[in-house]
Structure 1
């Protein structure tokens, strides 16, 4: 009796494995067949980029594609967001997949025939517009994922929610947008999302590779404003002043001790950067005030709290020591939480990534001090955010143009791997929950 039971279990396991491999082969074949279409979509988006909350043409193309696939579509979420709901043939969890849609105010310099020539106004200035961070590829990949999964709808054990999000790069002052606004408007509800997956193309990771990190993978960010007020005087008589420029210089120097002396750098990195300083308008006038703008990056709530406290203490006390005052506002205009990959979810999905790309091509990455508003979804539900290689094979990561620059470039040959990864993670997660 025991021997026959063991034999039955072995046969069942082999059948399940064979079925899983068959499904994966179907996904891979469908993804490969869509590779040229993904490139076509991506190039169209690249040639016609739109800034955050202005993705009107972009969202219309996406909505039409999802509707043609028979997916239930809602538009206008968080201004221009598009959400599609695909209900599988069997009950199961709700898996959300996210792509961002917005371009950046960057004048493109790449020598490709589909380079952007779009111009617009941003912060009252005429600017170029470019997909200089790869959001064009994210959209094209997720459109293909929707096509693959909708063709397998009858066999899906659950529901897929496709989230096409505006304004990941932020919005102009006074506007609302991005993942935070989509969450506020209920994108993770009706149906309630159980887990969320996302990917980001990376111009400095070789094509064909996927990188990941459990826990804090991208930094939480606070921007900050520090206003130092002193007493104005003629530049020839500095003893009559309380010089806010000298005080600001001392504050900047003292702020650098936070990372070197307050952060345990053996556990997590952190960044304290002053990116702008404005004060005075003439060589022989000591101004009354100086404004500084900067950014704080950290990987844990405790470190974030400490950075805010220490910046405030150092700025106000340094100013006080000079007879000046300092007012600190953190956050000043935006705050993103840490992009935190749920460790248990990451571990469960790692075999799916390894079977998709090959174990040698799935690499653990160090933490990234850039930020991502995907983190707002991860605050509400477990999430996994991975990176897809976009650098030509054999390229030098130190020489590859980085994101947010006019020369940003992506090798399109790796797009099908992104389609396969998101499809296989979705199906594997659903099947593991049966």
Structure 2
């Protein structure tokens, strides 16, 4: 009987504490919202490309140091990592935000519009936060502020990861989450669980969406080099035409999706985005180069598709008498949400946004290098709404476009979500040791 009473008392204590923490988080997140919006707009107006986020890192580090956190800079080139050691024993929880912008011109007429230009692969390009990473940084800065004020009640340690180059490092440089992991960001102290979010221009503000299991696709970049035989354009019978062969390969690759892959099991996307060949309109060239991307949501299917692409391109080339070389480079893994972690932590998201505002979502064929953190600890990545209330999601401007736009008036929902995840993961009496 005494044991039962002790268990009941413990459960009641946890419930009271949870309600108290939830109220504090809600109050503090609302209070910090004007600062979060200010930070986000500053970052939006001063974007920096992948592996070049120098001023962004300085801006973040200055804020984190002002909170009294242990701050490390220069991680994975320009990344910032900070530790907040709570006043109670508990796990190590990592929260991640990406920092980089894109070589995209901004067309949206807003007071904090970006007019920045920078060098990218030898060219001068416009720079814009066209994927919302500025909001991710601001949310995590706000989260750090709220949690620093609740330090004595935090169970365990919070690791704040501000990551560069999520969009991919330029050229042959290393960068992004793979380099963060390589440099030990998930160790010392070892992370028990990692959480991340992404703003969405097509989900209404105040809402959160997620998917257990495979949530976002892997991203592979491929190139197919075709070597034929050059000839005059008036005498194609003297050639082995790499352009015709290339078009046949492109068509054949699509049959991998439409006729060879079980897309009921998981989606597959093969896109050829570049086709280089020739210098004159009356010369059949010797060579052609195809470049594209592969998206899969299952690791076994990913390997299978790779093999089918190699076989298909090579055999089409053989039939034409051309030499074909295929190269496939994996950029990101499947972003996989640990099902047990999702089940346990969805109530935390519901506390942050409201039960009716949290829902599941379908596969996303976009990719995220957050996937690499999931190779080191259970991971949970979710989407936060950035679309104005009442807008049509079918007409929302897409990510990576000049018209990309988000409503930043409810970024505090992201702050509340992160904070709630930290407390609930650490104080949940059923948390696995």
1:167 corresponding residue in structure 2: 165
Structure 1 Cα separation of the partners of residues 7 and 42 of structure 2 = 51
1:24 corresponding residue in structure 2: 22
Report how far residue 14 of structure 1 moved: 3.1
Structure 2: state its 5+ residue gaps.
none
Report how far residue 280 of structure 1 moved: 0.5
2:83 corresponding residue in structure 1: 85
Which residue among 237, 240, 243 is the counterpart of 1:239? 237
Question: Where do 4+ consecutive residues of structure 1 move more than 2 Å?
Answer: 4-16
* Equivalent position SS for 1:306: helix
Which residue among 370, 373, 376 is the counterpart of 1:380? 376
State the number of aligned residues: 430
* Equivalent position SS for 1:246: helix
Which residue among 257, 273, 283 is the counterpart of 2:271? 273
For the 8 Å contact 2:351–2:420, the answer to whether it is kept is no
Which residue among 103, 115, 118 is the counterpart of 2:116? 118
1:14 corresponding residue in structure 2: 12
Structure 2 Cα separation of the partners of residues 8 and 379 of structure 1 = 38
Report how far residue 10 of structure 1 moved: 4.4
Report how far residue 289 of structure 1 moved: 0.6
Taking only aligned residues, the RMSD between alpha carbons, in angstroms, comes to: 1.2
Report how far residue 260 of structure 1 moved: 1.1
2:405 corresponding residue in structure 1: 409
Report how far residue 22 of structure 1 moved: 0.8
* Equivalent position SS for 1:247: helix
Task: Encode CA deviations 1:369-402: one digit per residue, 9 max, x unaligned.
Answer: 0000000101111100010000001111110101
* Equivalent position SS for 1:424: helix
2:63 corresponding residue in structure 1: 65
* Equivalent position SS for 2:402: coil
1:210 corresponding residue in structure 2: 208
Structure 1: state its 5+ residue gaps.
none
Which residue among 364, 367, 371 is the counterpart of 1:368? 364
Structure 1 Cα separation of the partners of residues 355 and 17 of structure 2 = 21
Report how far residue 425 of structure 1 moved: 0.6
2:282 corresponding residue in structure 1: 284
TM-score between both structures, scaled by the size of structure 1? 0.97
Task: Encode CA deviations 1:176-220: one digit per residue, 9 max, x unaligned.
Answer: 110000110111111111110000000000001000001110100
1:141 corresponding residue in structure 2: 139
2:416 corresponding residue in structure 1: 420
1:303 corresponding residue in structure 2: 301
Please identify, of 180-189 and 10-19, the stretch whose mean Cα deviation from structure 2 is larger.
10-19
Task: Encode CA deviations 1:294-316: one digit per residue, 9 max, x unaligned.
Answer: 10000111010011000000000
Structure 2 Cα separation of the partners of residues 266 and 175 of structure 1 = 37
Task: Encode CA deviations 1:126-168: one digit per residue, 9 max, x unaligned.
Answer: 1100000000000000001001111111111100000000000
For the 8 Å contact 2:337–2:379, the answer to whether it is kept is yes
For the 8 Å contact 2:231–2:238, the answer to whether it is kept is yes
Report how far residue 266 of structure 1 moved: 1.2
Please identify, of 4-13 and 367-376, the stretch whose mean Cα deviation from structure 2 is larger.
4-13
For the 8 Å contact 2:22–2:351, the answer to whether it is kept is no
1:348 corresponding residue in structure 2: 344
Which residue among 414, 425, 432 is the counterpart of 1:429? 425
Report how far residue 8 of structure 1 moved: 6.2
Report how far residue 267 of structure 1 moved: 1.4
Report how far residue 174 of structure 1 moved: 2.1
Matched, 1:329 2:342: no
* Equivalent position SS for 2:336: strand
1:55 corresponding residue in structure 2: 53
Structure 1 Cα separation of the partners of residues 7 and 380 of structure 2 = 32
Structure 2 Cα separation of the partners of residues 262 and 21 of structure 1 = 52
Structure 1 Cα separation of the partners of residues 106 and 230 of structure 2 = 43
Report how far residue 9 of structure 1 moved: 4.9
Structure 2 Cα separation of the partners of residues 209 and 50 of structure 1 = 28
Structure 2 Cα separation of the partners of residues 121 and 106 of structure 1 = 12
Which residue among 394, 397, 408 is the counterpart of 2:393? 397
For the 8 Å contact 2:14–2:427, the answer to whether it is kept is no
2:228 corresponding residue in structure 1: 230
Structure 2 Cα separation of the partners of residues 12 and 234 of structure 1 = 85
